[in-house]
Amino acid sequence: MLQNLCDTHVHTIFSRHAYSTLEEDVRAAADAGLELLGVADHFSAMIAPCGDFRAHQHFGNEAVWPRRWHGVTLLRAAEVDIMDLSGRLFGQGETAWGLDGNPLEGSDFFGFCLRSCDYLVASVHGRRLPDTATLAQGTALYVAALENPKVLTLGHIGRAGVPFEVETVVRAAKELHKLIEVNEHSLELAASPFFSDDIPALCRTIAERCAEEGVPIAVNTDAHISYDVGKAPHALAMLEEIHFPQELVATRSAAAFLEAVEQGVGPVEGL
């Protein structure tokens, strides 16, 4: 049976449509026997419009988080939206407005807010890009997102709806030492009328190509409530079915994931 002792994409109440606090998620991770938890709340217009730090200051004070809590290694992350066909991420090129409501001269909102994050998960949300991107454009936007120095993982590409060439994106991840996410929530949502019933097949194809190309994956829950932290039965069952190599599961242990972070975006400070 595949070992998966990290969950590196979970949400707290900051994400508005999630329901648990940071400590509740950490306690759930400890109860699940996880070694490492990565909290990646949304950095997105889903939370508030771009630019005003007062609405996104959750990310500005993450240095107060302990690195070890209830026996679990805790990493600081964000799930950031891919905004357009160029692969631009939410907040890039936007002026940052400080706590006093005045512009922070010379500060890029993306860089200012996420300066304390250990890594980023880059994802597509909404229908605008899925409805407009061609296969070539979808491929290019994912490759561009991977090229961002702070991005470690492409989030839930199996259900975002953006067309892309799986082989090209997987090979780009390999070249850049980045991760492809196998998202438990995507497989759970496959039965929903709001999502395509092609999701399981695409997730499987992506995982198979990662195995063929030797590209590490992150098996994550995308949990929006502490109850789901560390539980990825659908994802692990699919990976077992295709005989996915254990050594390519970057979330198999804290040591393996921290090595992946160091290779992809740089070492984690304080560990």
CATH dotted code for 6-264: 3.20.20.140
The number of residues making up the chain comes to 271
Phi-psi region of 196 (alpha: psi -120 to 50; beta: other; left: phi over 0): beta
pTM of the shown model: 0.96
Place of tokens 């098996």: 219
Give the model confidence (pLDDT) of 160-188 as tens digits.
Answer: 999 999 999 999 999 999 999 999 999 98
Give the model confidence (pLDDT) of 116-133 as tens digits.
Answer: 999 999 999 999 999 999
Place of tokens 């909102």: 109
Per-residue pLDDT of the chain (271 residues; tens, 9 = 90+): 899 999 999 999 999 999 999 999 999 999 999 999 999 999 999 998 888 888 899 998 899 999 999 999 999 999 999 999 999 999 999 988 888 888 887 679 999 999 999 999 999 999 999 999 999 999 999 999 999 999 999 999 999 999 999 999 999 999 999 999 999 999 987 666 656 668 999 999 999 999 999 999 999 999 999 999 999 999 999 999 999 999 999 999 999 999 999 999 999 999 8
> So where are the chain's domains?
6-264
Q: Are 118 and 65 in contact (CB under 8 A)?
A: no
What pairs with residue 219 in β-bridges? Answer: 182
Q: Which helix (H) or strand (E) holds 185?
A: helix 184-188
